[in-house]
Structure 1
Amino acid sequence: MTKSTFVYVTYIRTTPQKLWSALTDAEFMKQYWFGMHCESEWTAGASWKLVSGDGAQIYDDGEILEADPPRRLVIRWQHQNRPELKAEGPSLCTMELHADGEAVKLSITHTIEREHSKLIEAVSGGWPKILSNLKSLLETGAIVLPDPYPSKGGNA
């Protein structure tokens, strides 16, 4: 079967352990994920969900398939909020962390078993914003994008 795939790679000046903590600590996550956070025990077989800041709305839910701190995290999840994305079924998100000098190479590969996936199209717009905030927060102590969908206007 043909897959739709999105790959994002960034280098962050931090340690693998600090990056792993940033990817799995709900309170820290809220800072760079626009108020949202993930809830999980972060072990293979554990449930996983992405929820709104107040916990009232579940955006995605699934299961941790692999957890090898601070090197690899694999999550299978299905979107829950938009019917057209939910209908596509579960996707697979693999996060790999590799120390590289004073930085960590973070690779995210997000796939789904369907051609021309609207879900992969959606995450390909979201992951760069989330990960830019994460990188900036770890390196400078501040995020760069306070709003994932700023109003259109000015110079683009």
Structure 2
Amino acid sequence: MTQDRTSFVYITYIASTPEKVFEAITRPDVARLYWGHENVSDWAPGSTWRHVRDNDERPVEIVGKVVESAPPHRLVMTWTGASQASEPDSYSRVTFQIEPNDHGVRLSVSHDDLQVGSGMAAGVSKGWPLVLSSLKSYLETGRGFDLSGRARAA
């Protein structure tokens, strides 16, 4: 039996450029400053990517494949817990849509195909709003939230 699926969509406006937003998502050294993780990949379609925490006994938390990469406007990737990578039904999909706007950038993050009631669905429903708020703060002020427990400075 196939489990029910759910999705989340988050939209934020950032006083920045599409290039800087895309870079903040895809460059490990920049993502670490507001996310507390590094997103590691060459970002070519079909490539693997890893969501790496540098201060945890489980350093690789999330893994997946790059589905589509059209810098600086769109990035689509699969997403699952590293411990569930061999379970095809555990994968969900994240789409970053980055569009110029009169106020800077409109960033839309869709996380779909999540298993209803799963730990992953619960985690991302709380995690994305915090991460995206930290990204916005980082790009607009040079300082994101301390999501890793260590002080961050740009």
Q: TM-score range by the shorter chain?
A: 0.7 to 0.9
Instruction: Report what 2:152 is aligned to.
Output: none
Q: Deviations over 1:119-152 (max 9, x none)?
A: 1221111111111111001101112x31468xxx
Q: Partner letter of residue 72 of structure 2?
A: P
Runs (5+) with no aligned partner, structure 1: 150-156
Instruction: Report what 1:33 is aligned to.
Output: 35
24 and 113 in structure 1: CA distance in 2 versus 1, 3 angstrom threshold: closer
Structure 1 length-normalised TM: 0.83
Q: Give the drift of 1:54.
A: 5.5
Q: Partner letter of residue 10 of structure 1?
A: T
C-alpha contact 1:38 1:51 (8 A) present in aligned 2: yes
Instruction: Report what 2:9 is aligned to.
Output: 7
1:106 equivalent to 2:116? Answer no
C-alpha contact 2:90 2:115 (8 A) present in aligned 1: no
> Aligned-residue CA RMSD in angstroms?
2.3
Partners of 2:40 and 2:61 in 1: CA distance: 12
140 and 65 in structure 1: CA distance in 2 versus 1, 3 angstrom threshold: same
* 1:1-156 equivalences in 2 (<5 Å): 2-34=4-36, 36-53=37-54, 57-80=59-82, 89-112=90-113, 114-143=115-144, 145-147=145-147
Percent identity between the two aligned chains: 33
C-alpha contact 1:45 1:65 (8 A) present in aligned 2: yes
Structure 2 length-normalised TM: 0.84
Runs (5+) with no aligned partner, structure 2: 150-154
Q: Partner letter of residue 61 of structure 2?
A: Y
Q: Give the drift of 1:101.
A: 1.4
Structure 1: 4+ residue segments shifted above 6 A: none
- Would you say how many aligned residue pairs link Structure 1 and Structure 2? 144
78 and 147 in structure 1: CA distance in 2 versus 1, 3 angstrom threshold: closer
Q: Give the drift of 1:87.
A: 8.9
